[in-house]
Structure 1
Amino acid sequence: MLNDLFMTDALMEVVSDARRRANKHGERFNIFSILRVHRNEAETHSRFLHELLKPQGRHGEGGAYLQLFLEDVLGLQASGEDPYRVSRELATEEKRRVDIVIESPDAIVGIELKIDAADQQAQLHDYYQELEWRAGSEKQVVLAYLTLDGKRPSAMSLNGLHKEKVVCLSFADNVSLWLEACIEKSQHKPALAHAIQQYQQLIHNLTGKGGTMGDLVAGELNSDVERFKEALEVEKSLPKAKASVQELFWQELRAALEAQFGVTPSVYGGKSIAAISQDYYSKNRNNKHVGIKLPICSLESRNVYLYVNLYHAVHYGLRVEDESGTVVPSPDLREMARMAVGKGNAVADGHADWLACYYYNPAAGDDEKIINFDAFNSAAVGLLDPEVRRTLIADMVAHQAELAAKAKTLRSR
């Protein structure tokens, strides 16, 4: 499968040595990573940052960290005397939730965090409108878009909102430097300083910043022409190798679904499984969603399908198609379905055209099972192991069968 991808002994030696050096001071022993919550936006990153920013936070440092953030990261003048309120998951009129909001008599700041989640339709547009409405004409409005690398939000999320209305921040630089300042201010509380250091190391691990294995490998390659040439050959072969892993996943998943439901799933977004897998890495996707689907049942004269969809990460669930095969929102069926199957854990679960949408079975899984073929995360790499692949697909299909069975019970209601 991966015969186009070769690693010479010299390159293997470089990678192995870099791995050892990157863990010289125990950097890989990170409590967030060990507990497998390192990429959880809501329960890890949003909660931790909110706790640091809160003047009433358990750190006991009052508004010190908040003042550093406002002044050093956002460039806002912060007064230690002003009453600041810092909240999480602020509900908007559009039934969305702003991750973190900082409010004072003079300003209101909204922060949207992105680790793995994709942008949603009109998301930042709606957030800005909500902040503007709350500010009236009396407060400065700041909307920050915080990502690993500081990338700009999509036009879909802005939905006409001028890009200058959004401040782009990065975990790699802005948050990392702020955390360094927080650690410096916390030296009189060693346990607190160490906790912040653990989070800072997590950020370094996620962003590849500062003395990571990638930096060390790059340093070695930059000084050796032959090894650099070998690495270039590996780089050329990676898209094809990734496509072959993805193709194998789709093939085995389709076979497992056919065995479970007695129907062969059809491919959408491309002519075949081979095509969608190869095109995913060789062409500009332009927000293109691909995957496989199969019919489940008819509810209220509408056709309910099981979709397994890929944009960045693989997600699956129930959708409704009209007679032309177009996915259509069905608010009444969505409400019925969610009473039966529950709330999904995928970002797309918030979209009206999914009755319910999941990355994995929340009753038996964890976020380590999220297969991200865009970032090609550890779960995607794990698919190289046949036993891991079979187990993951079996778990996925079992949950999909459970969702389908619950959907069918709605016909009798």
Structure 2
Amino acid sequence: MSKLNIASNKAEFTDRFRRLADLVETSKESANRHGERFNIFSILGVQRDENRTHSRYLAELLSPSGRHGEGSQFLNAFVKDVLGLSLDVSGPIKVTRELATEDRRRVDIVVESTDLIIGVEVKIDAGDQKAQLHDYFTEISQRAKNRKTVVLAYLTLDGKAPSGYSLRGLEQENVHCLSFAEDIRQWIDRCAALCEHKPELSYALIQYKRLLESLTGAGTSMTSLIADKLAHNRGDLETALAVEKALPRAKSAVMLRFWEELSSAMANALGAAPVVYGDKTLRELSHNYFNGRGGKHVGIKHPIGELNGEKLCLYVNIYHAIHYGLRVDSPSGSTVSRPDIKDKLREKLNDGNAVANKEADWLVCYYYDPYPSHEPAVLNFHSFDGAVLDLLEDENRQAVINNMVEHQVRLVDEARALIETSTA
């Protein structure tokens, strides 16, 4: 191909790319015609927080004594419209968040009345845990004592089925698979209709519904408007497809730069470079994450001391979002649960703010320093949202890494002090 043709093709692609950018901007304006993009959850950066946002919000709506003041209306709509049960829930009703089980696990939401007990496991970014639903079903069944209807709901963005890893022999038919995209969104619509006489409450529900539409791609979002335009213009769609092919490589380059600079900063602060786990190199880890070859529950770790023949380690892990904290490795290198160490460590530290913090094999786990010197950032590489895009700016990336490593050093100091006390 001649230089003239190459230049011509580049110019044509640049023009088409600009047209695509204009399309995105126009769709953004259309989707925000009535201020829809002004969403309090997104502005505060808590849109994907399973515990502090979704579990708390849903539990408040399900509680007859919730601040909505609508009694059991919302709960009964959930039971009938979402779970499909022909039951009128009445009498004393208790709604509990983070219900502790006998094996030190926590059910996100439990609703209990005289004749019904509902357990709800909420999943946004977190993966299934070993025997999780099996243990939750066992727990609520024991509480029911054969006198109550038992319902276990598995709530995800798209209503997917749980893994066999989580079921561990529990029959799939014992689990109600629910989706934020359809089941919860429609229930929120119903709740908003039931409380039209309370404009502020109704609008708060509409805000949450918009959040769900943004997370799941449902409704008339900017994404759906763009998709409709692309489906009717061949040139725009061809340009979008060309960009789509380049995206995994671009995303992996952003992730690799983050991992490399974080590893270097940790080496400087802790005196030794962390090691990669779950993959051979940081380059392969970053590539595989965006090319469908695994890349989940992988990262880097740094041994910080020994305790009773096992290694206490600082982990930086990725599933959807980057999270970091302390875990214990067995002699074989697998993580193990040490509740005695966890209890002692958490007496000295702020409780973790990552979803994984409630899992047994994390002593403590964070998305960010609970007392950051700047606005905290949850680095969700799965959604590749604003906080991750900010990593393209050198100053922003260094600020995030520096704050993360400073917090990690404090964690390591507390853990080493605990080891010294325990072995004294």
What's the TM-score once normalised by structure 2's chain length? Answer: 0.89
Query: SS of the counterpart of 2:324?
Result: strand
* Residue 69, structure 1, aligned to residue 78, structure 2: yes
How far residue 96 of structure 1 moved from its aligned partner, in angstroms, is 2.0
Q: How does 1:11-410 map onto structure 2 within 5 Å?
A: 11-79=20-88, 82-285=91-294, 288-300=296-308, 302-364=310-372, 369-410=377-418
Distance 2:105 2:15 in 1: 47
Shift in CA distance, 138/352, structure 1 to aligned 2, threshold 3 Å: closer
Shift of the 131–49 alpha-carbon distance from structure 1 to 2, 3 Å rule, reads same
- Taking only aligned residues, the RMSD between alpha carbons, in angstroms, comes to 2.4
User: Unaligned stretches of 5+ in structure 1?
Assistant: none
Give the 3 Å change call, closer, same or farther, for CA 32–311 of structure 1 in structure 2.
Answer: closer
* Native 8 Å contact 1:270 1:276 kept in 2: yes
Kept in 1: contact 2:126–2:356 (CA 8 A): no
Q: Deviations over 1:327-379 (max 9, x none)?
A: 44444433433333343222333334333222211122799522122332332
What letter is aligned with 1:292?
I
By how many angstroms is 1:305 displaced? 2.4
Report the equivalent of 2:4: none
CA distance in 1, matches of 2:143, 2:75: 21
Q: Secondary structure at the match of 2:392?
A: coil
1-side partners of 2:251 and 2:16: how far apart?
A: 15
Residue in structure 1 matched with residue 9 of structure 2 by the alignment: none
Give the gaps of 5 or more residues in structure 2: 1-12
Post-superposition offset of 1:288: 4.8
Moved more, 150-159 or 301-310: 301-310
The CA deviation at 1:137 is 2.0
More displaced 10-residue stretch of structure 1: 120-129 or 103-112: 103-112
- Runs (4+) of structure 1 exceeding 6 A deviation are 4-7
Q: Once the two structures are superposed, what CA deviation does each residue of 1:228-275 show, in whole Å capped at 9, x if it has no partner?
A: 111111111111111111111111111111221221222222221111
Percent identity over the alignment? 49
Aligned residues: 409
Paired residue secondary structure (1:369):
coil
Tell me how far apart the structure 2 counterparts of residues 373 and 309 of structure 1 sit (CA, whole Å): 12
Q: Measure, in 2, the Cα distance between the counterparts of 1:67 and 1:324.
A: 50
Aligned residue for 1:383, secondary structure, equals helix
Q: Which amino acid aligns with 1:268?
A: Y
Q: 135-144 or 394-403, which moves further after superposition?
A: 135-144
Displacement after TM superposition at 1:302 (Å): 4.0
2:168 and 2:91 map into 1 onto residues whose CA distance is 34
Q: Contact 2:117–2:151 (CA<8 Å) still a contact in 1?
A: yes
| CA–CA separation in structure 2 for the residues paired with 1:346 and 1:260 | 23
Give deviations 1:55-77, integer Å, cap 9, x for gaps. Answer: 22222222222221111111111
Distance 2:117 2:338 in 1: 36
Cα 1:154/1:375, change in 2 over 3 Å: farther
- The 3 A distance-change label for structure 1 pair 354 and 283 is same
In structure 2, what is the Cα distance between the partners aligned to 1:360 and 1:236? Answer: 32
Partner secondary structure for residue 357 of structure 1: strand
The alpha carbon displacement at 1:84 in A equals 3.8
